[in-house]
Amino acid sequence: MKNAIFTCSDSKFGDFTINHWLKSLKDNVDLSNIDVIILDYGFTKDQISKLKEIGVIVVKCLRDGHVTSIRFRDIAKFLEKKQYDQVLLSDGGDIIFQDDLTNLFNDNKKEFRAVCEDYCAVDLRDLFIKGYFKKEDVEEIKRSLKGKRVINAGILVGPYDKFLKLCKDCYDLLARKDSFGPDQVAITYLLYKISFKELDEKYNYVILCAKNKFFIKDSTFYLENGEKIPIVHNAGRFSAFRGIRNFGYGKDCNLTKKHYLNGVKLTYNVKKKMGITWNK
């Protein structure tokens, strides 16, 4: 049975999705037994044409909320019609692939697999719980997540049946689906309840949150020991908040904002000492 890789995008991030996310995926990952499904929340006609020429599955979706939330509804709709062995969800506008991912689909197949963040300069419980979840759920979510590390929803892997249920549960849990951020809280809360296998951070290397140091050579990201990083995630809601300038796959990409990255981690360490961060 085939596996599936999902992402979502729109016209704003469509060129990155095509020229960097998808190109890096095709260059580095064996897709012979994988369907690549891209949820379309407003591609241009030219972008859709390019995607179909490449041979991926493009699914037109109704954009009636923030894509980070409504994507779970639309993934569930797709999965209800077609079954897979394993399902991987990836952000589409800030991730590149640099190595094969066969082991992600073959190891611990009965469990969810995800990366926990080592640094978190802001407390997501304060930012994305009150007002985004039902009142009766807020205190339970806060209590459940106290002292736990954030699970980064940029890369999630799991078996078909569990992934389908997770998507439905995440969408139903969110009282508001029109804003960036609360999906991260919902996924973290649900996966700690279900249980999951923690992946090495190299399989969702979040530039702002990674514990291990990295360096860039010829536009490629490596760990300090010289190992190529399989999945690089330049997370941040706005470009000003992202740790890498000109992020992408290929020549002349990827310049580090060293002072910004150092500042983020300094802020985290200060807050940690004060006892006011998520990862206590």
> What DSSP designation does 250 have?
S
Lowest mean pLDDT, pick from 74-78, 153-157, 256-260? 256-260
Rounded-to-integer distance, Cα 11 and Cα 43, Å: 4
Nearest to 201, CA basis, from 163, 265, 151: 151
As given in the structure block, the two tokens for residue 196 are 């999951």
Structure tokens at 241: 């908040």
Per-residue pLDDT tens over the stretch 210-252: 888 999 999 999 999 999 999 999 976 655 567 798 899 999 8
Q: How far is residue 199's CA from residue 20's CA, in Å, rounded to a whole number? A: 23
Q: Decide if pLDDT at 122 tops 70.
A: no
- For residue 169, what pLDDT is reported? 97
How far apart CA 276 and CA 268 sit, in angstroms, is 9
Give me the sheet containing 95-97, strands edge to edge. Answer: 95-97, 231-233, 205-206
Ordered by start, the domain boundaries in the chain are 3-202, 205-274
Q: Of all residues in the chain, what percent are helix, strand and coil, respectively (each to 5)?
A: 40, 20, 35
Residues 95-114 have a mean pLDDT of 97
DSSP annotation of 132 reads T
Identify the DSSP state of 214.
E
Q: Answer whether residue 202 shows pLDDT above 70.
A: yes
Angle at 233 between CA 230 and CA 238, to 5 degrees: 165
- Alpha-carbon distance of 102 to 85, in angstroms, equals 13
pLDDT at residue number 279: 44
- pLDDT tens for 51-61 read 989 999 999 99
| Window from 30-39, 59-68, 160-169, 177-186 with minimum mean pLDDT | 177-186
pTM of the predicted structure, to 2 decimals:
0.90
What number of helices (H) and strands (E) belong to the chain? Answer: 10, 14
187 close to 170: Cβ distance less than 8 angstroms:
yes
Per-residue pLDDT tens digits for 77-91: 999 999 999 999 999
pLDDT of 276 > 50? The answer is no
Higher pLDDT, 266 or 181: 181
**In 3D, which of 10, 8, 117 has the Cα closest to residue 73?**
8
May I ask the CATH class of domain 3-202? Answer: alpha beta
In this prediction, residue 266 carries a pLDDT of 45
Which segments of the chain does DSSP mark as H helices, in order? 11-16, 23-28, 45-54, 67-81, 102-106, 124-127, 135-145, 160-173, 182-194, 258-274
